[in-house]
Structure 1
């Protein structure tokens, strides 16, 4: 159990589930006493927007961003891993150079956000940092990498990202890269490339947690076999509940749990994606939203929300989300489940559309019989345990 001076102790274990469910406010109170982390926040895409501030409350009816500091307080999200995302480009020196420049700019934007709102949020480099920030009443900002493509043809750059605060990194994104095969591409390497195997060793040496989301099944198997530290999937789902290669099957989920790792459950691929020509164009523009003038940003956000109302990206309901989550917990156990909704990266469903809806998950898990200790593990304890293990392995 993780406690903090700000939140105090969790509800007494003697309080029965019957008593809790009899009063609808108690599950929400439980949620507010938990230390909560999300392992995949794509919000840095918004940090460089002219006229837009992460410190302001934004109206979800007209604004596409799914979290900001005030709404994090509403949903009691204490922090998480802010992603340095780079779309996959050509495997050429020019492609690598452009990706590296983009990734460094995104990393700097995260630093600027933390510096700007330093009284409310702080940079974390370890599990202890997260606990200290929480005890001080500040939110928690870890850094992660989504797609290691910007590293180019060497793993040496990982050390630089480690010094910048990266503590979680994914090897691949939606297409194969120089390190590994993607779950959503045709096999090239049939798992990790030779450079990808070097990447695993360097990740372990530095103490950066390996993220297997977006990786093919063969890559997952090889990561599990080769990593000397537990791995996690920062934003993935259950293939048994929706058959998609981005999701993990039950056998691999069991092996992940047996190795000490965890699956951070997402809101994506609970149903087929309803992309469409216009939505795809909006996705492309949204990745460059910081380059747009405020009026253009507003138009993009407005049209995104209009499409959400008439042609949502996902058709899944909150009940489907909970059914799939409960299946994952049943297979892996509460010691090996965490949360990564993929907010601001295409995630969000009806009933779980932004960060303010997170207490609904805790309420449903409470109703399903999960107690304080299990809730704390799933909301942050498992992630911090895996981070500790990676850093302890690096120290050895």
Structure 2
């Protein structure tokens, strides 16, 4: 890579809106502060490679898989989410000289100015919040713990809304989901519409007093899949001040055979495995990648998709959310160390430094600031 281009990338404040890396934070013998070798390690993000790829930070996700809509299911999910939230705090605290937790856009900029990396906290899937008034109390609890971006739903419908990859239950938002939108606005938290059904997106657009964010999504024009979003809705989200963060997923067919599905299940529980079993999981994952990649997407396809988002939404309404450590990555962009390649390509194609700054963090922070301003705590 040209040194001038690399320096251009390093001068930017670069943020990714969706990092699933906390799945690795509880691993025995695994240190987030090291640079792990991608040839033998399944994790795609660590402090060493964040520095190498000049990823200055992002939203570290508290992910909870969908379970039964029962009191017992909610209780187990909430415990899982609270433990993961605390795990993010304790892991980052061990590296407080290198990375800090931000709860506002201004704090992110101050950390960057001080030479530190930036960590926001997010929730992927609101299922752990539970039901009724307790759900709103739980949302406020996570807000107090520093969460600033929340996805309403994941791969299956939950008590709040319909998912883009499930048959309709609520035809959009449930009554509780409408309360969720209003409480998100009151708490000054950004609504993440990735994974939401079209009807859910439409109703959140109509109800929310703040812009929506799609933390890791693409256009259906680039790849026709319900997990992506159509161009008309992208334009409506942009018109409301929101943004779509370009992902590396669902730009080609997902190859999810029985072996990969079993590996994903083990990966979600990698924190419970002994170091030797972790290493075995990494070997099996990478060996399967070599013969049956999760995605067939090329780097050029990714760049074309990113440019399409910019053409549809406008440069003020596109951001970055690769979905690293959650199934994201592609050939030539398989971990955060490779991120300068995106800047190199866009710069070569004539993108200005000002527009690169918007893409890499400015638009994302603007959406966060809009939510902050509407808070009425």
Task: Give the TM-score, by structure 1 length.
Answer: 0.93
How far apart, in 1, do the equivalents of 2:321 and 2:88 lie? 18
**Deviation readout 1:125-157 (Å, 9 max, x if unpaired):** 100100110011110010000000001103221
Aligned with residue 238 of structure 1, among 211, 219, 225:
219
User: 1:368 offset after TM fit, Å?
Assistant: 2.0
- For structure 1, the 5+ residue unaligned runs are 1-22
Tell me the CA shift for residue 39 of structure 1: 0.5
1:333 equivalent in structure 2: 314
Distance 2:348 2:206 in 1: 37
2:162 match: 181
SS at structure 1 position matched to 2:58: strand
In the other structure, the counterpart of 1:97 is 75
Gaps spanning 5+ residues in structure 2: where? none
Q: Could you tell me how far apart the structure 1 residues matched to 2:82 and 2:2 are? A: 46
Map 1:342-353 → 2, pairs under 5 A: 342-353=323-334
CA distance in 2, matches of 1:249, 1:369: 27
Pair 1:53 & 2:34 matched: no
* 1:348-359 map, 5 Å: 348-359=329-340
Tell me the equivalent position of 1:160.
Answer: 141
The residue matched to 1:155 in structure 2 has which SS? helix
Aligned to 1:319: 300
Query: Are 1:112 and 2:90 counterparts?
Result: yes
What is the CA-CA distance between 1:25 and the residue it aligns to? 2.6
- State the partner residue of 1:281: 262
Q: Secondary structure at the match of 1:233?
A: strand
Q: How far apart are residue 365 of structure 1 and its match?
A: 1.2
State the 1:336 CA deviation.
0.2
**Which stretch shows the higher mean deviation, 77-86 or 150-159?**
150-159
- Other-structure match for 1:27: 5
Counting only pairs closer than 5 Å after superposition, residues 379-390 of structure 1 correspond to structure 2 as: 379-390=360-371
Alignment of 1:285-304 (within 5 A): 285-304=266-285
Size of the aligned set, in residue pairs, is 374
Report matched runs for 1:244-283 at 5 Å: 244-283=225-264
Q: 2:376, 2:75 → 1: CA distance?
A: 31
Q: 2:59 aligns with which of 81, 85, 88?
A: 81
Q: Following superposition of structure 1 onto structure 2, how do residues 109-148 of structure 1 map, counting pairs within 5 Å? A: 109-148=87-126
Matches of 1:36 and 1:241 in 2, distance apart? Answer: 24
Distance in 1 of aligned mates of 2:349 and 2:157: 39
Q: Deviation per CA, 1:323-349: give whole Å up to 9, x if none.
A: 111011011111000000000000000
- In structure 2, what is the equivalent of residue 217 of structure 1? 198
Please say if 1:363 is aligned against 2:344: yes
- What is the rounded CA distance, in whole Å, between the counterparts of 1:56 and 1:28 in structure 2? 22
**Aligned-pair Cα RMSD in Å:** 0.9
Residue deviations 1:178-228 (CA, integer Å, cap 9, x gap): 000000000010000000000000000000000000000000111111110
Q: Partners of 1:26 and 1:239 in 2: how far apart?
A: 35
> What is the distance in 2 between the residues matched to 1:328 and 1:119?
36
Partner of 2:173: 192
1:202 paired residue number: 183
CA distance in 1, matches of 2:34, 2:337: 14
TM-fit CA distance, 1:369:
1.7
